Structure 1
Amino acid sequence: MSDPTTTPGARPLLEIKNLEVGFQSSDGIIPAVRGVDLTLMAGQTLAIVGESGSGKSTTASAIINLLPGAGRITGGSILFDGKELTNYSTKQMEDIRGREIGYVPQDPMSNLNPVWSVGFQVEETIRANGIATGRKAVREHAIQVLREAGLQDADKRLKQFPHQFSGGMRQRVLIGIGLSSRPKLLIADEPTSALDVTVQRRILDHLETLTRDIGTAVLFITHDLGLAAERAEQLVVMYKGRIVEAGPSREILENPLHPYTQRLVAAAPSLASRRILSATQESATHSLSDLDYAPTTVTEGIDLIAAAEERVERERAGGAAPTRRPDAIVVNDLTKVYKIRGQGKGSAGEITAADHVSFAVEKGTTTAIVGESGSGKSTVAKMILKLEQPTSGQILIDGVDVAPLKGRSLLDLRRRLQPVFQDPYGSLNPLRNIGNTIAEPLLVHKAGDHASRRARVLELLDQVALPQSLITRYPNELSGGQRQRVAIARALALKPDIVVLDEAVSALDVLVQAQILKLLAELQSELELTYLFITHDLAVVRVIADNVCVMQKGRIVEAASTDEVFDHPQEQYTKELLNAIPGAGIALGV
């Protein structure tokens, strides 16, 4: 269905015709991909966008025959460089994967083996694909590909393990592995979802260099419409296993024709997005009650947002200045130093992940901490949650120093302070079904009886827009976005006062992301919740946060209200972060 600009007579590198993919169940084959047609030329970049469960990743997995156990191709053709891949044996596909078709999986957490060093895993791929031979040559190539993927001090980090890397750093390792053999085609499933915007730009610039210099084609799977418009010539929009719109990226995003594409564009955060919450919760409630985040048309979405902004500004101008509320979180001079293994026997070094960090979060507001991967954002969040012990400094929750808390006092703190972690895969127990996962905090804190806990679980599933039928499913049966919604539901189970969200919406497509952000805003308005929002997505920050702290190399370099940071950034580093937002200069859907 896509119509790329091609050289007359040129043979497509990848040509998919009427692809059908289904998953075997007790009730028969459940279709996941229905009649998909794609054409991708050598050196071209094509992006597939759509919500979780639309069939994006399934289509990509079918190309390289990496469908889950119950999945199989039930019809259609996949031609790669003139070869029919649907007829290939397992051994033949192993020869194609890695060498001719590179793959960057969606999840940077579970796709690296935790018991092997990062260097060993990169070198293993290089040896398996025959890219280099000899210990020295393999190691040098491993360092090269990791540096190209944007990993600082690659030579020093080869002996470290995945748990010692941030989410973004792990994602860069996977990108380095995918590019290590200089493949003809790179399938990148959300390749930059865990990366901050500056590293994302560096990685994507490198992908463009490959495309230009050696003719590598790139098939992007992404939920970031700005990224799709900025980096891909062609765009394919999928919905419920079908392609509903395809063509040149900017043309589709500037003038979407299908109602589903219009909804995607209307829900996309951008640099032009404004905070729809006012300084007071009353204004926030009024504004949000009219805003659906998934309007039927682009014009409707723009009009609703504009009306909300106008009402908030009018109420601000006519009302008295809001009085400052007590601080829910106070961080004073917080420092965290990690010991790292050195290159020689007995040698060791230190990494300062948080360097004299200080900030306060007012009760009932949202403070976002932004910065590059490895800047110390998640480390600060873990110390606040008492999952890491500070090297020095102080953390106050509602005026109480958390350092000496133990036993019952610590349990009470955890009831009022709940996390949503970055990884929607690793943070859910694969042996627990969804109902038991969400009910776990209620059981640990002995809240209610069996009937009331079940009722609360069903209520939470509704709140995060998941069908109640999922209550008996397991995490491996859900998409990445669905798993993240389960994690958010679990965090809200005890109705906490403070929620620490570490990249809580980074794995979600724009429609679900908008629903979750609206849910968080409504819950904050209703329950006076306080949010600490850790993210690399500055477009989301503009929509959700009252205040922003910008971190660089373990320090807070700028802190102010969201509008001040976005409209009048003081630091050059902050300006670079804002300038790197993908699609910021594209007029989406207007």
Structure 2
Amino acid sequence: MTEENTVQTLSTGAAPADPTTPLVEVDDLQVTFTTANGDVHAVRGVSFDIYPGETVAIVGESGSGKSTSATALIKLLAGNGRISGGSIKVEGKDITGYNEQQMAAVRGGIIGYVPQDPMSNLNPVWNIGFQVREAIRANGVAKGKKDIEAKAIEVLHQAGLADAERRLKQFPHQFSGGMRQRVLIGIGLGADPKLLIADEPTSALDVTVQKVILDHLESLTREKNTAMLFITHDLGLAAERASKVIVMSQGKIVEAGPSLELLQNPQHPYTKQLIAAAPSLASRRIHSTVGEHLTDGVEGPDMLTLAERHEDSEAAVEAAPVVVKVEDLRKTYMIRRGSFKSDPLHAVDGISFDIHKGTTLALVGESGSGKSTAARLVLGLEKPTDGQITVGGVGMADASSKQLFDLRRRMQVVFQDPYASLDPQRSIGAIIAEPLKVHKVGNRKSRDARVAELLDQVALPSAMADRYPNELSGGQRQRIAIARALALKPEVVVLDEAVSALDVLVQAQVLQLLADLQAELDLTYLFITHDLAVVRVVADAVAVMEKGKIVETGATDEIFENAQQEYTQRLLDAIPGAGIEFGA
């Protein structure tokens, strides 16, 4: 068959898919990356099939080969990566030898792709509308300026962006991480593909928008017979949404089978370890293990049941001094809408809260509710339109340059998007040591020792110091961002979706690490997240935000067991897999 005929056959796909014939067949797939230290075998003999209309989830820890297996299906591996063995058949045709022209007929129309990292996959120079329209034009979904514009609005609406018409003129940096992720989901769905590969498609989304997206993807599977390949670390999502689960570890499949059966009755020790480490809405709270002896067999964070917690814990929190005080804080942006006119957008609209020393306040809410904006205001990265922020008795509005510099050392941040916050041209060691150099802490030898200590604390090898961000997975980059924030041993740490990109094993380690550091150093945390299962196990108090306002606040147990607002209850009800009891 000629190249032209091959492209035409793949791109038309007129005949209805045979439900008994695999849409994608992966047989003994091997992927190798060439590095300065030799070849790295990232995927080693992976085999699986995906049938029309089937939803498959691949789970495993960061670096297990999940994303590499997925990107190999559409031949979008990094420049130093190659398929070194095995075959990938799409609609019965082996695509491993396809060139770029042939792959253009496969990507978009047959296999859609939603990448993991929203910021690095959206061009910061072009507005959102331009990028969505270009994807629609490239896939041939619509023709003519009006049709393309209408389709752009439609796909963003489908992806959960309610005010799509207004948002088209905005740029990626004006969107929250969750909103950027929705744009990528809209682009991935734009050409109605037969298979959609979604690499952590909802990791940056709040639970209510996540439910909207997943419900929409499920309706695609049902109505258009679209197959789905989820790459996820969320076991609840895998159990609730996938018909089949594949568990990967160190580049190999260790267990696979029907989702509920596998997760409720796991056979492999690694699968059992994943399930044991996953946080849930059960009444549990991580406590510090400082001073306690931990055996090598500990699989997840050490947690206390409500009955085991101190009855006066809420009173103890209230008795602690206030470290961060926010009073009537407001932030308004002016959004351009053409004809030299602008509309006000009240991102933060009169919020107030206190964070007591040595405690954790979780700020939760939907994407775009103002959580991350509030964090940037507290950190002094943006100036408020109105209101007052006091940190350690120092009012930030009236602070001198020296006082603000001193505050920077006492107050560190882990941003939501680890790739955008890590300099791609600097080594990991230099990135982690940067705060130490800026604040003139120690000499080179002591800084190197501190870098090695921090890498160990976030469960990464010390040899990682010589590598660069583009050589790391999303979860590994997030751990580097956490290590950098902890370098100066600050008093206050703002964590903006700090564990959203982490697999459950590493998430458990990091959450335990944060609890230990809090106990040891009397740290104060502002924890911004959409993952309410994590909130349950880390936070002392919760503030719920909606459309720039705090609609409910209180102790964590009180909010989870007796939510007063319908909005808060909606957040709790939308958590994937909340009603599923996993095995061990």
Give the TM-score band, short-chain normalised: over 0.9
Q: Is the 8 A contact 1:363 1:530 kept in 2?
A: yes
Equivalent of residue 359 in structure 2, options 362, 365, 376? 365
Q: In structure 2, what is the Cα distance between the partners aligned to 1:131 and 1:484? A: 36
CA distance in 2, matches of 1:293, 1:407: 47
Contact 1:276 1:309 in 2 (8 A): no
Q: Which residue of 1 aligns with 2:170?
A: 160
The residue aligned with 2:455 is: 461
Q: 1:128 to 1:293 in 2, by over 3 A?
A: farther
2:180 to 160, 170, 173: 170
Match of 1:330 among 320, 325, 332: 325
Query: Deviation at 1:52?
Result: 0.5
**2:401 is the alignment partner of 1:407:** yes
- Equivalent residue number for residue 82 of structure 2: 72
Rounded Cα–Cα distance in structure 2 between residues aligned with 1:292 and 1:234: 34
Letter of the 2:269 partner, please give it: P
Q: Does 1:490 align with 2:484?
A: yes
Give the drift of 1:94: 1.3
Structure 1 residues 166, 451: CA separation in 2 closer, same or farther (over 3 Å shift)? same
Structure 1: runs of 5+ lacking an equivalent: 1-6, 278-283
**Is 2:243 the partner of 1:247?**
no
- 1:420-478 deviation line (CA, Å, top 9, x unaligned): 00011000001110111011001101111111111111111111111000111111111
Distance 1:389 1:196 in 2: 26
Per-residue deviation at 1:404?
A: 1.9
Hey, what does 1:559 align to over in structure 2? Answer: 553
Tell me whether 1:574 sits opposite 2:568 in the alignment.
yes
Moved over 3 A (4+): 288-296, 310-313, 315-323
Give the counterpart letter for 2:428 in structure 1: I
Give, as a single letter, the amino acid of the residue that structure 2 aligns with 1:22: T
Matched length? 568
Whole-angstrom CA distance in 2 between matches of 1:128 and 1:502: 35
1:74 deviation in Å? 0.6
Aligned to 1:340: 335
Conserved 8 A contact 1:548-1:559: yes
> 1:216-245 CA distances to partner (integer Å, 9 max, x unpaired)?
100000000000000000000000000000
Give the corresponding residue for 2:475.
Answer: 481
Partner AA of 1:324 in structure 2: A
State the Cα RMSD in Å.
1.9
Provide closer, same or farther for how the CA distance between residues 531 and 430 of structure 1 changes in structure 2, counting only shifts above 3 A: same
Percent identity of the aligned residues? 63
Cα shift readout 1:469-495 (whole Å, capped 9, x = no counterpart): 011111111111111111111111111
Does the Cα contact within 8 Å between 2:409 and 2:490 map onto a contact in 1? Answer: yes
Cα distance in 1, alignment partners of residues 452 and 353 from structure 2: 37
How far did 1:28 drift?
3.7
Instruction: Describe the SS at the equivalent of 2:480.
Output: helix
Aligned to 1:24: 34
1:395 aligns with 2:405: no
Q: Given that residues 271 and 581 in structure 1 are in contact (C-alpha distance below 8 angstroms), is that contact kept between their aligned partners in structure 2?
A: no
Q: Is the 8 A contact 1:475 1:483 kept in 2?
A: yes
Deviation (angstroms), 1:322: 6.8
1:197 aligns with 2:207: yes
- Secondary structure of 2:96's aligned partner: helix
How far apart are residue 89 of structure 1 and its match?
1.3
Q: Deviations over 1:333-390 (max 9, x none)?
A: 0010001111x31111110000100000000000000000000000000000001110
Please state how far the C-alpha of 1:504 moved relative to its aligned partner: 0.3
* TM-score, normalised by the number of residues in structure 2: 0.94
2:19 and 2:313 mapped to 1: Cα distance? Answer: 67
Contact 1:550–1:556 (CA under 8 A) maintained in structure 2? yes
CA contact (8 A) 1:335 1:357 kept: yes
The equivalent position to 2:428 in structure 1, one of 431, 434, 444, is 434
Superposed counterparts of 1:29-428, under 5 Å: 29-277=39-287, 284-285=288-289, 289=292, 295=298, 305=303, 308-309=304-305, 312-313=308-309, 316=311, 324-342=319-337, 344-428=338-422
Contact conserved, 2:24 with 2:90, CA < 8 A, in 1? yes
* Structure 1 pair 320–573 and aligned structure 2 pair: CA distance change class (3 A): closer
Query: Hey, what's the Cα distance between the residues in 1 that align with 2:283 and 2:318?
Result: 26
- Give the residue type in structure 1 aligned to 2:109: R
- Alpha-carbon separation, structure 2, partners of 1:293 and 1:327: 38
- Contact 1:293–1:518, Cα closer than 8 Å, also in 2: no
Aligned to 2:525: 531
| Aligned 8 A contact 1:273 1:539 in 2 | no
Q: Report the Cα distance in structure 2 between the residues aligned to 1:514 and 1:579, rounded to whole angstroms.
A: 23
- Structure 2 CA distance for aligned equivalents of residues 400 and 317 of structure 1: 30
Contact 1:103 1:188 in 2 (8 A): yes
**Residue of structure 1 equivalent to 2:4:** none
Give distance in 2, aligned partners of 1:451 and 1:18.
46
The whole-number CA distance in structure 1 between the counterparts of 2:295 and 2:390 is 36
Distance 2:71 2:384 in 1: 42
- Provide TM-score, normalisation by structure 1: 0.93
Check whether the contact 1:267–1:293 (CA below 8 A) recurs between aligned residues: no
Deviation at 1:295, TM superposition (A): 3.8
With over 3 angstroms needed to count, the CA separation of the structure-2 counterparts of 1:322 and 1:114, relative to structure 1, is closer
Matched residue SS, 1:87: coil
